[in-house]
Structure 1
Amino acid sequence: MDVRDAAPGGTRSRNRRGQGERLREEIIDAALRLLDELADDEALSLRAVAREIGIAATSVYIHFADRDSLVLAAMRRCHDDLVRAADEADAAHDDPVAKLRARVLVMGTWSHAHPGLYKVLHESTLSRRADTTFRLEIGERATAAVQRCMDAGLAPAGDAATVSLDLRAAVHGAVSMRVNLPDQPWPPLEHQIDRFLAKLVGVTVPAS
């Protein structure tokens, strides 16, 4: 779709055929930047997103009917990127324990590095108004990683889904406390994750 928009200090060039999807991705990119700063999807406006990339607000409405639909798309992108990063970290190891640790560490450090997006992903009321079942995928992959440890005899046999949920809840709790109480003398997050792995999953984490 061809769109010509006024931009600060100039004019945004007309999109060539097939570039409508590129603009949509730019809009999501801008929303993610603003959400990470705002840490509250209710504070996001489509006009602010339009200003961020120098387009008219009407161009945002071509791709997203309202703020909820844009925030949902941003949450989906955020989740997919996080899943991809965790998969890549997992794939870099052969040992099931190392694979699980790498996966959980990515989830923890990403959330710590992006506190605003973390709050939107986990505290937005949008989760009660829209279908966010896509977020189950990251939990399912973590459960599979725990199950591999159990199958290899590296963790006590048990309900992998329950163990995975306990582990993710502990990591999210640790991250949430850091986000909301940043001035506290927190220990390194990776050390805390290693203790969670030992206590909740029952694996032996090699000393780093």
Structure 2
Amino acid sequence: MTETRARNRRGQGELLRAEIESAAMRLLDELGDDEALSLRAVAREVGIAATSVYLHFADRDALVLAVLRRFQRETAAEADAAEASAADPLGKLRARVLRVGASAHEHAGLYKVLHESALNRRVDMSFKRSIAEDTTAAVRRCMDAGAIPDGDAEEVSLDLRAAVHGAVSMRVNQPDATWPPLAAQIERLLRKITAG
């Protein structure tokens, strides 16, 4: 049983909000299903009364959206850092795509909720566009540098993201199948899609 948590001092409500988000993030990653998440379970994980969750989130969807936005921001930051560590435009694109794929694979439950849940049809999730836009910009830089054939950067980016999402989704939804290493598969997909 979870111990009761010590109350935050007055004016530290944002700390509790962050703890609630973190607990929900862990649970969603384990469950892989936003509809299986209960606010009561999140409250238990944090060590607070279920009613305290409602002081920060109107309902389960609001909490799940906050978690998914945070996951998206963290993934984007990791992809930016990976890109920054590479020297040339193609290396930067490779690092970015590999990091996004690895993050999705490492957090399969969150990935599933972010991309495959019914929540996508119920609420605005336009915040997901940031990674797509950053990948398109990385593809354009490769084209401008002559590292890959010139063409429609958005189309190449879409093909690349669809391939990576497919590779991750297959692993998430068929975990008992025998798969090649994700990084090696992404490398092959990247070479094929950017070959022109």
1:71 is the counterpart of 2:31: no
Q: State which of 48, 60, 71 in structure 2 corresponds to 1:55.
A: 48
Structure of higher CA gyration radius: 1
Deviation for aligned residue 1:180: 1.4
Equivalent in the alignment of 2:10: 17
Q: 1:1-208 to 2 correspondence within 5 Å?
A: 8-9=2-3, 11-202=4-195
Question: Mean alpha-carbon deviation: is it higher for 27-36 or for 119-128?
Answer: 119-128
C-alpha RMSD of matched pairs (Å): 1.4
Question: Mean alpha-carbon deviation: is it higher for 119-128 or for 145-154?
Answer: 119-128
Structure 1 unaligned blocks of 5 or more: 1-6, 204-208
Q: Tell me the TM-score normalized by structure 1.
A: 0.91
Tell me the matched-pair count.
196
C-alpha contact (below 8 Å) 2:159/2:193 kept by paired residues: yes
Give the percent of matched residue pairs that are identical in Structure 1 and Structure 2: 66
Equivalent in the alignment of 1:206: none
Q: Which amino acid is the alignment partner of residue 186 of structure 2? A: I
Equivalent in the alignment of 1:4: none
Q: Tell me the TM-score normalized by structure 2.
A: 0.96
Deviation for aligned residue 1:197: 1.2
Deviation for aligned residue 1:8: 4.4
Structure 2 unaligned blocks of 5 or more: none
CA distance in structure 1 between the aligned counterparts of 2:162 and 2:106, rounded to whole angstroms: 18
For residues 153-207 of structure 1, what are the alpha-carbon distances to aligned partners after superposition, in whole Å with 9 as ceiling and x for unaligned?
Answer: 010010100100000000010111111122222111111111111111128xxxx
Superposed structure 1 runs of 4+ greater than 4 Å apart: none
C-alpha contact (below 8 Å) 2:143/2:149 kept by paired residues: yes
